[in-house]
Structure 1
């Protein structure tokens, strides 16, 4: 009979834990697969958990809980940031750990039984397990509410490592303290300690959200500064062009007289070269690119000038599309970052090979953006980001930001490369 209660407690306990874990993930992330995949994953989680439980090594069971939660989250659910999934998985494990400890301690206090007696009796352990599962099912909704309200999109690797260390520390502490509890007063002390850990873990959610918002604000300010700098450069360039054009117009009468004298003297070739020089001067006084979207005009003229400075041949084929459906900030994020990527890549190869091709066109109601450039054939990735050789904060060159901006407009970003060319393609659907 005791075996029935023992195995019943294991199956029920890990079954409810796996169910609550999947509910956590379903509420916070988008699933990748059909329902039957998650049923199989739930069964595999329960079976593996029971196997690890049979080793009777408490820390090994906890390590399995952390790893299993992270793997299930990362493999079966979608998120722009895998680190966020890992963070949520570890927070779930901490919730599981604390509720398990609280349920056992509360049961020992109200039943008047010692912890050692409860752990050695299958029937008492089964009843205690029922309390644990009831608490898990009752309190996971508020935890999901907290996680939804205070989301931390910018969680980094260091924060993930900190959470893993914290989870292991709390586990070891609970294992150690539970081994020295011998009376009710000690159980009450441990309950106070456990609830303090719960409060601290919830506070971490708020803290990580604040850090995430700080990083997002810094990134936005950097992009705003970039946009303002480009606009300032563009308007300064326009002012310079205007002054130069006034001087050219002022001298035009003298230029025409010189041309007339050259033709009259029979110096046709020299007159033609002189005329071409005048035309080149006139071309340099106007922007090389112009379309109905002011922000795109500013961005492309700024990047064309940078290409000229570095000897990069840039070919721009842009249909005059109405980009009013894209926020100016997102326009800067998309075009400026991608062109900066291409310019930096070209700067690392010989001048003869430096080439960028930008194409923007509309096809079947979709806006397509393609930027193709030559590069040195070597790419270094940090997850979704290209690693820049500039160092410092300039890591990833904005591909992650570009992807986030594109997804706002139901768009997709694809990248491909061979030994000679790197290309980014974007497909967006204008919103009604």
Structure 2
């Protein structure tokens, strides 16, 4: 069956449908507004109606550029109406969708032109042409292939409910680039093709178009990755600054407690000689006070402080923690780095074993020199499965946006001193292994 339709009128509707599908590839993981199906239904109906009644006053590249720019603007407003996202996130997703739709359009036009089906793509002329089911099948196949490939490369990078916070100037420059390359310049290339039928000119223009569009996508997602890394680094740095403050507070507190406990032991000893107090009660008081004063000295004050903190917490929560630590070998590391590194190691282990039965609440830490390297090992039991990505354990907590930075902090510290870190989980035992050059290489200062 053949259909007689005005080309540009038909292309307006086809373009709109293809654009909304392309934008959905990036939007569907974003947070939706209440009554989303109703909003989407009403919004799409309104958009298609406006597109259908938009007047075709001229068959020129300039007028077509203006028209498709307005359609793109409508799609942005529709996305903001349906999704509970910021304007930045909305612009990012719709811009990516427009670029993919544009690439699919160029590829389809190339396929039909080179394959001898050039009339299937001529939506820009002012005449009417026959659109056959065979041409429609080519259209669907090319678009589906391009959409699927580019979604696998770019779309999958967007995580569910990911906050997109690209700076406004960069995003604005990106939108201007899309407007110039994908709308205005493309319109002039296509119109020149139908006017001159210069195949060499058309092929070179189309290939340039494809390269520019892919470059836009690469640039766009590079900006997203760069901003994501900046945000993660800022979170880790904030954690480090907080840990440095906590280290100083803990150091001052434990020093004060040890001093006071030492004085109290002498006072209790003097009281026991001067008054008739039950010796057993006095011994119990001395043992309680000696908790702070009897912690094993490892040879490194920062390590002693973090072990003291975590040992007291473990004692209170029925967790057995053992350590063989030659803390003197950590002298090449700064105290805040030691406090942060071992704090994160022990925190992760404690969070894991505290969920287990009593006989598996065991944590072991070993620090020893092996030739020119310092070996640090932590091991503990775990239950369930441990998932790894790029060699790092993935947090099992529901809110992944605010967890998992402890591991990244550890990696950053280890790399700072020119070391390596690895994780291994098997037979329900989790092992963390760190190797550091005793010379304190890397970027340490």
Other-structure match for 1:315:
none
CA 1:135–1:74 in structure 2 vs 1: closer, same or farther (change >3 Å)? same
Other-structure match for 2:153:
146
Q: Secondary structure at the match of 1:31?
A: coil
Report the Cα distance in structure 2 between the residues aligned to 1:58 and 1:150, rounded to whole angstroms: 33
1:172 aligns with 2:184: yes
Other-structure match for 1:283:
none
Other-structure match for 2:337:
none
Report the Cα distance in structure 1 between the residues aligned to 2:312 and 2:72, rounded to whole angstroms: 50
Report the Cα distance in structure 2 between the residues aligned to 1:58 and 1:294, rounded to whole angstroms: 69
Q: 1:40-189 residue pairs with structure 2 within 5 A?
A: 40-52=42-54, 54-56=56-58, 57-79=63-85, 82-111=87-116, 119-123=125-129, 130=136, 131-132=138-139, 134-151=141-158, 153=162, 154-156=164-166, 157-170=168-181, 171-181=183-193, 182=196, 183-189=198-204
- Residue 76 of structure 1 deviates from its aligned partner by 0.7
Report the Cα distance in structure 2 between the residues aligned to 1:138 and 1:87, rounded to whole angstroms: 22
Q: How many residues align?
A: 277
Deviations 1:369-424 (A, max 9, x none): xxxxxxxxxxxxxxxxxxxxxxxxxxxxxxxxx99549xxxxxxxxxxxxxxxxxx
Deviations 1:90-126 (A, max 9, x none): 0111122232233334433433869989623321678
Report the Cα distance in structure 2 between the residues aligned to 1:138 and 1:95, rounded to whole angstroms: 11
Report the Cα distance in structure 2 between the residues aligned to 1:70 and 1:219, rounded to whole angstroms: 31
Report the Cα distance in structure 2 between the residues aligned to 1:135 and 1:293, rounded to whole angstroms: 65
Deviations 1:21-44 (A, max 9, x none): 464255332432242331222222
Report the Cα distance in structure 1 between the residues aligned to 2:165 and 2:37, rounded to whole angstroms: 29
- Residue 191 of structure 1 deviates from its aligned partner by 2.3
Q: 1:367-386 residue pairs with structure 2 within 5 A?
A: none
Other-structure match for 2:14:
13
Report the Cα distance in structure 1 between the residues aligned to 2:312 and 2:7, rounded to whole angstroms: 70
Other-structure match for 1:29:
30
Contact kept in structure 2, 1:105 and 1:187, CA below 8 Å: no
Report the Cα distance in structure 1 between the residues aligned to 2:208 and 2:185, rounded to whole angstroms: 10
Deviates further, 112-121 or 69-78: 112-121
**Unaligned residue ranges in structure 1 (runs of 5+):** 257-289, 296-322, 329-401, 407-432
CA 1:53–1:14 in structure 2 vs 1: closer, same or farther (change >3 Å)? farther
Q: 1:16-415 residue pairs with structure 2 within 5 A?
A: 16-17=17-18, 19-21=20-22, 23-25=24-26, 27-32=28-33, 33-52=35-54, 54-56=56-58, 57-79=63-85, 82-111=87-116, 119-123=125-129, 130=136, 131-132=138-139, 134-151=141-158, 153=162, 154-156=164-166, 157-170=168-181, 171-181=183-193, 182=196, 183-242=198-257, 245=260, 249=264, 405=402
Other-structure match for 1:362:
none
CA 1:294–1:202 in structure 2 vs 1: closer, same or farther (change >3 Å)? farther
Contact kept in structure 1, 2:5 and 2:130, CA below 8 Å: no
Contact kept in structure 2, 1:84 and 1:155, CA below 8 Å: yes
Report the Cα distance in structure 2 between the residues aligned to 1:17 and 1:119, rounded to whole angstroms: 20
Report the Cα distance in structure 1 between the residues aligned to 2:151 and 2:29, rounded to whole angstroms: 8
Contact kept in structure 1, 2:189 and 2:202, CA below 8 Å: no
Deviates further, 7-16 or 109-118: 109-118
CA RMSD, Structure 1 to Structure 2 (Å): 4.7
Higher relative contact order (CA 8 A, sep 6+): 2
